[in-house]
Amino acid sequence: MSLFRTMPSAGDFAPLFRLLDDYDVHRSNRGQVSSLRSFTPRFDVRESDDAYHLDGELPGISQENIDIEFSDRHTLVISGRTERIHDTPQSQDVQGKNRDVVKAGEQSVTKSENNKHRYWVSERSVGEFHRTFSFPDKIDQDKVKASLKNGILSVVVPKETASGVKKITIE
């Protein structure tokens, strides 16, 4: 018997929160008719004195499949897509149903309609994603910088520098 009662930490509830988030995404996508799945990548958003910093998890997505754009002066939109990629076995050549030979060690992209694999568990995020971030302050769109390293997309959105008070003389 413990002398101190242990209080559950936020980490203890993380699987429950993830389940609720996934259910919310499932409900919001139920009415949409689309052949592509969608997912919502997770982002950390923090603010410093001179910029907003966004760090998002996009594992396995190349930068060619990511679009970053402004929809208005205060809103940044990050969107993109990923497909499930299978590596072929190293030991032999594999011949597909469409008579194309895939050399050993090459990667082949499998689309959902041609997918003959039977998944026991499918936890990876595939399909299209779309995230929108609105900022309360004016931002300097020309100085935004983005980088993708080890599956983490980092975007730095500088705040617009406040020009000093401008005094107007009366003529």
> What CATH number is attached to the domain comprising 138?
2.60.40.790
Name the percent of the chain lying above pLDDT 70: 58
DSSP-derived pairing of the beta strands 75-82 and 85-87:
unpaired
Q: Which domain holds residue 95?
A: 85-122
Do both 44 and 118 map to the same domain? no
Query: 73-118, pLDDT tens digit by residue?
Result: 899 999 998 877 665 455 444 444 444 444 444 444 444 455 577 7
Same-domain status, 75 and 134 = yes
Assign 39 a pLDDT band (cuts: 50, 70, 90): confident
Percent of the chain's residues with pLDDT above 90: 35
CA 2 to each of CA 5, 6, 8, 11, 12: distance values in angstroms, whole numbers, following the listed order: 7, 9, 15, 21, 19
The CA angle 28-128-22, to the nearest 5 degrees, is 40
> Do 40 and 118 lie in a common domain?
no
137 and 154 both lie in a single domain:
yes
Residues 40 and 70 in one domain: yes
Q: Quickly state the pLDDT bin for 67 (edges 50, 70, 90).
A: very high
Highest-scoring range by mean pLDDT, 14-28, 32-46, 50-64, 110-124: 50-64
Phi, psi of 15 (to 5 degrees): -60, -35
- Number of folded domains in the chain? 2
Residue 102 lies in a domain: yes
Please give the Cα distance from 161 to 163 (Å, whole number).
6
Question: Which pLDDT tens digit goes with each residue over 112-157?
Answer: 455 577 778 777 777 888 999 999 988 999 999 999 999 999 999 9
Does residue 14 fall inside a structural domain? no
Residue 152 maps to a domain: yes
- Residue 7, domain member (yes or no): no
Indicate if 40 and 114 belong to the same structural domain: no
Phi, psi dihedrals of residue 101, rounded to the nearest 5°: -95, 130
